Amino acid sequence: MKLKLAPSVLSFDMTSLSTSVPQLVSGGADIIHLDVMDGNWVPPITFGDALARSVRRHTDCFLEAHLMVANPESQFEPFAKAGCNRILFHIEGSHHPHRLVEGLRRLGVGAGIVINPGTPVSAITELVPIVDMVLVMTVDPGWGGQPMIRSALNKVTELRNLRPDLEIEVDGGVDHGTIVEAKRAGANVFVVGSYLANQTDFEAAARNFKIRMEEA
Ligand code: DX5
Ligand code: ZN
């Protein structure tokens, strides 16, 4: 599987994304990860489709929206129209996930399902064959900068065995050190927020992380 770096803009200065996003992309970012929180399903509020549209104006990079909101299906069309290439929703927040995957297909965007650290792989067995990506949360959603819950990586290995060609993404606490375990577990897409945002040169930060990702 091709290894991919997906910087999350969550911990970046939101008023400077027009410069930081292109810097991350020239450093080799493969995907820009947009963490959408509604202050209801998770306590913080981040941003909506208007920000995704603004980011799209500044890059051609693949954009994915990670929806941490109540009634995620209400946001499918706005984020698709804003230029997102893939939309990820939580199994814990949806009553009819199979139908939601079909809804994303109809909109012409990639479909991803997300599981929290407390959710077993068995909760999504029926969806694994029909989605483009599974995102395994390695922290509980809501905040950047939390330490990785390493036991969640066992689910990555389980999923890799279930479907070897699946895009498996990990999100939460991924840094220079934990990338090694995440990669060994079988993940191929790595969301990285605070570790990149805490550096001064974002282009170099992304480039160095890509090197680390390949060597880990
Ligand atoms: C948490 C978000 C993550 C977060 C990752 O709810 O889904 O994408 O930004 O941030 P770090 O890399 O700081 O753990
Ligand atoms: Zn995320």
pLDDT, tens digit (0-9, with 9 covering 90-100), for 199-208: 999 999 999 9
- Cβ 172 under 6 angstroms from ligand 1: yes
Question: What are the residue boundaries of the structural domains of the chain, listed by start?
Answer: 4-215
State the catalytic residues.
35, 171
Determine the pLDDT at residue 30: 98
- Cβ 141 under 6 angstroms from ligand 1: yes
**Which SS3 state, helix, strand or coil, does residue 40 take?**
coil
Determine the pLDDT at residue 100: 98
Determine the pLDDT at residue 36: 98
- Cβ 35 under 6 angstroms from ligand 1: yes
**Which SS3 state, helix, strand or coil, does residue 25 take?**
helix
Q: What is the percentage of the chain residues whose pLDDT exceeds 70?
A: 100
Q: Among 198, 190, 186, which Cα is nearest to 172's?
A: 190
Query: Any idea which residue has 């129209």 for tokens?
Result: 81
Ligand 1 mean position to 100 CA, how many Å? 24
Q: Among 155, 23, 6, which Cα is nearest to 85's?
A: 6
Fold of 4-215: TIM Barrel (3.20.20)
Contact yes or no for 87/112 (Cβ under 8 A) = yes
The model carries a pTM of 0.98
Q: Which of the ligands is closest to the CA of residue 46?
A: 1
pLDDT, tens digit (0-9, with 9 covering 90-100), for 3-54: 999 999 999 999 999 999 999 999 999 999 999 999 999 999 999 999 999 9
Determine the pLDDT at residue 91: 98
Spans in the chain with pLDDT lower than 50: none
Contact yes or no for 168/152 (Cβ under 8 A) = no
- Name the residue of 45, 171, 199 whose CB sits within 8 Å of the most ligand 1 atoms, as the mutation to test its pocket: 171
